[in-house]
Chains A and B, each alone.
Chain A
Amino acid sequence: MDSVLQLKAVTKIFPGVRALDAVSFDVARGQVHSLVGENGAGKSTLIKILGGVFTQDSGKIIFDDKQMNFRSAHQSQLSGISVIFQEFNLLPDLSVAENIYIGREPKKGPFIDRRKITADSETILKQLDVNLDPKTIVESLSVAEKQMVEIAKALSFKARLIIMDEPTAALSEKETEKLFEVIRALKARGTTILFVSHRLKEVFAISDRITVLRDGRFIATKDARQTTEEEIIRLMVGRDIKSFFAKSSDHSQSVMLSVRGLNFQDSLRDISFDVRCGQILGVAGLMGCGKTQLAEVLYGLLPIERGEIVLNGRGVRIDSPQKAIELGIGFVSEERKENGIFPGLSVLHNLTMAIIRKISGWSGIKLDRQKERDTLRSYAGRLDIRYHRPEQEIDFLSGGNQQKVLLARALASDCKVLILCEPTRGIDVGAKVEIYSLMNELAKKGVAIIMISSDLPEVISMSDSCITMYHGRITGYLNKEQMTETNIVACAVGQKTVGIES
């Protein structure tokens, strides 16, 4: 077999995690090779190394029989590898042709030779059989068209290996079909494609071979014709699941939050579910499936287009986070840095920000510092938040401790429904276990918890029941027995549905 790319024991370590652990496999020339795995399996790290964004800590990359050690994205591009990331590297205000030749424009004297770049771009686009005017400004293009510009750019570099990271994530079915045609055309010209995707149906439709990664390790490479979706899912998941805490769910409890026919643009379509007091409902799904939007709608960050939310038997309208907090809905966001912590402010102020007006006299004109400090002390004890002094800036706490402060901020408002987005992402194992035991404690006290998570073992061990989402729809209502990783993954990639009457 003629390999265009060989990986030999490629390893990449980030503080606290082995993102890639001695990964070795070959990619055959002129094939479409898919790379699959759960979130955190190491796919992104791998393609970033191939794209020159990261450098591996050890191991060899052999591309076209030459050992490569990319130090920059530019180097990787020059040697014939083009990576098309999910976020495109296009300049929106320039034309298609200008984007394709950005940084290496042919010159006529001091000026860009526009006629040449337009003509050259046209040739490339024609090869791809894409009907696109090179003079169009990129901003006005659809996602699918922008993708074609990226592919054209890769071809203009004479790329022999094109890596596509979740290329179909934002495409419609028709656009996906068009992309596949282009991929087949590229393959016919001898270009190799490394196709990274969560969507197994598409993977099987386009690939010659499939490589599975799990937890940073190489698991297997299979010939697409000799394997099945079921086998790949098993390989993706296949780990022993140690449940953290055995919990018994009590269905006699009353329904706390009930959602009926919720819609928001394309992200949420006819979402309906119930959460009972003391229940932990897991929400699983791939990136872009709408689970984040679901949380944001319930917390008043996004408006509802259609549908209703019933809280404790009463129909409610949640149009702002203030309203949500008033109604007793707490929220811990997945973006700790972006919309969680207040950098530069103290641990104390971070924790009490949402309640400071409430716990102070004269509606906030006279701060009650004693009560404030007591609040901190009590939550610090319950959640084991470790800090030096209450005045210490939150920036200097570890990720796990910052997360606990945010959790405490939500809890301090006395919530009856708690929405947690990726509650343990990027924190160490010790803090994880503490957050899990706190969730169980809250559930015992009757709080209804909605846990949105990409971490399947977490969903399975923590949830009493679970819903899966795919393309904005719920594809599965799973009870404790149905909650196997295989089941969840199958629902999350749209391969099957559970508990849905058709």
Chain B
Amino acid sequence: MSQQQFWKIWERFGLFIIILIGVVGLSLLSPNFATMTNFKNFINQAAVVAIAGAGMTLAITSGGFDLSVGSVFALAACFGARILIDGSVAQSIFVSLVVGAGIGLLNGLIITKLRVPTFIATLAMMTIVRGAALIYTKGRDINIITGPAREAAYKFFGGGYIFSLPVPMVLMISVFAVFYVVLNHTAFGRHVCAVGSNEQAAIYSGLNVDRIKIAVFAIVGLTASIAAVIQTSQLMGVNSGSSGLGFELQVIAVVVLGGTSLRGGKAKLFGTMAGAILVAIANNGLNLYNTPIFYQYLVFGLILLLAVSMDGLKNKFYTPAGAWAQRI
């Protein structure tokens, strides 16, 4: 295999090949890996990160990113959990999603209308929203103890099955299906890529760049709150201080791992899903060997470095076919 061929295959299937090697390897090494219970464990973990990752993919494609998703995750979880104690499941989920989308909308407005740089705006929002979550719960845990029927219904989102598939997995696939359509089959998706590729050119082409950015951030908030509902349902409780801590970096890392360029303009949507699954498998493998959780941080960082450096090497050694022909 020539170097060109290698990089060509790597570009398209690299992440999936590594996942495959991981799955086969772990199945051979550990008798507990290839079981239904364990599959459910890691797919649940992957789904939470992947769903927020879908939103983040959109943000990074538009040339931005959102540091507040961890805090939004926490606040949406707190509101959802608190409301479920007295209210219905529908009310709880509705409020969670509105909180997420609302804060995202606010992020978008601050960035576009007040002209605050994305980094600062979402960083500030990260601490503001975390503070709000702590104030709202007075720093205490919320344990969802309510009617058994309501508890069972809420548990469905994190632990139920649809056609014997785990619900978080179904939700993940649905979210990605919707995002796929939005990115590839709507004018909005096209415009998001345009803003990320060259914001000035987007303005000159008559796109309403502000409105596009606001929508993108609202969507990011929405996906973070969907992820929050799934995890709250799994834990049946939430701690306002630790919930979603470091989640924003995990989500951004998974998007980058998936191959979406931080320069914007190009989305690798399914790369994000693959990235989330890869990280979940790695963590799962470490768990099966009872490795302390500290090692998960280490391995996560190494995977990220490896993936991004492979990408850098690819760009150095490989040019897509036909790209140069027109220049000559």
Contact = CB atoms under 8 A, between A and B. Distances in A.
B312 interface: no
A291 to B, nearest CB: 17
A392 B263 CA distance: 19
Nearest to B204: A339
B326 A353 contact: no
A344 B61 CA distance: 12
Contacts of B204: 299, 301, 321, 331, 333, 339-340
B265 interface: yes
Contacts of A344: 197, 261, 263, 265-266
B265 A354 contact: no
Nearest to A331: B204
A224 B160 CA distance: 91
B188 A364 contact: yes
A353 B190 CA distance: 7
A338 interface: yes
Contacts of B188: 364-365
B207 interface: yes
B203 A321 contact: yes
Contact of A398 (B187, B197, B326): B326
A5 B194 CA distance: 50
A385 to B, nearest CB: 11
B324 to A, nearest CB: 7
A142 B324 CA distance: 47
Contact of A353 (B205, B263, B325): B205
Interface string A324-350: 110000010100001111111100010
B187 A392 contact: no
Interface string B195-223: 00110111111111000000000000000
Interface string B160-197: 00000000000000000000000001111011011001
Given A365-B186, A392-B322, A343 B265 contact: yes
B200 A338 contact: yes
A320 B205 CA distance: 10
Mostly, the A contact residues are loop
A341 B326 contact: no
Nearest to B322: A388
Given A343-B197, A396-B323, A356 B206 contact: no
A341 B198 contact: yes
A225 interface: no
A349 B193 contact: yes
Contact of A339 (B203, B207, B322, B325): B203
A360 B187 contact: yes
B209 to A, nearest CB: 10
A367 interface: yes
Nearest to A413: B206
Residue among B191, B207, B265 facing the most chain A CB atoms (10 A cut-off): B207
Contacts of B266: 344
Contact of A367 (B185, B193, B265, B326): B185
A127 interface: no
Give the size category of B's interface with A: 20 to 34
Given A331-B204, A388-B326, A339 B190 contact: no
Given A331-B204, A333-B204, A354-B205, A345 B265 contact: yes
B327 interface: yes
B135 to A, nearest CB: 40
A345 B326 contact: no
A349 B190 contact: yes
Nearest to A364: B187
Interface of B is mostly: helix
B201 A396 contact: no
A460 B186 CA distance: 45
Contacts of A386: 326
Given A321-B203, A388-B322, A396-B326, A357 B198 contact: no
Interface string B264-300: 0110000000000000000000000000000000000
A431 to B, nearest CB: 13
A345 B322 contact: no
B326 A397 contact: yes
B323 A353 contact: no
Contacts of A338: 200-201
Interface string A352-371: 01101100100111110000
Nearest to B188: A364
A366 B186 contact: yes
A393 B321 CA distance: 12
A343 B261 CA distance: 13
A459 B200 CA distance: 28
A396 B324 contact: yes
Contacts of A339: 198, 200-201, 203-204
Nearest to A349: B190
A252 to B, nearest CB: 32
A388 B325 contact: yes
A409 B207 CA distance: 13
Contacts of A353: 190-191, 194, 202, 205, 207
Interface string B19-43: 0000000000000000000000000
Contacts of A396: 323-324, 326-327
Interface of B: 185-188, 190-191, 193-194, 197-198, 200-208, 261, 263, 265-266, 322-327
18 contacts: A299-B204, A321-B205, A333-B204, A340-B204, A341-B198, A342-B198, A344-B266, A349-B193, A349-B194, A353-B194, A364-B187, A367-B185, A367-B187, A387-B326, A389-B322, A392-B322, A392-B326, A397-B326
Interface of A: 299, 301, 320-322, 324-325, 331, 333, 338-345, 349, 353-354, 356-357, 360, 363-367, 386-389, 392-393, 396-398, 401, 409, 413
Please give me the 7 A-B residue pairs with the lowest Cβ-Cβ distance, nearest first. A364-B187, A339-B200, A342-B197, A357-B187, A325-B206, A354-B205, A344-B265
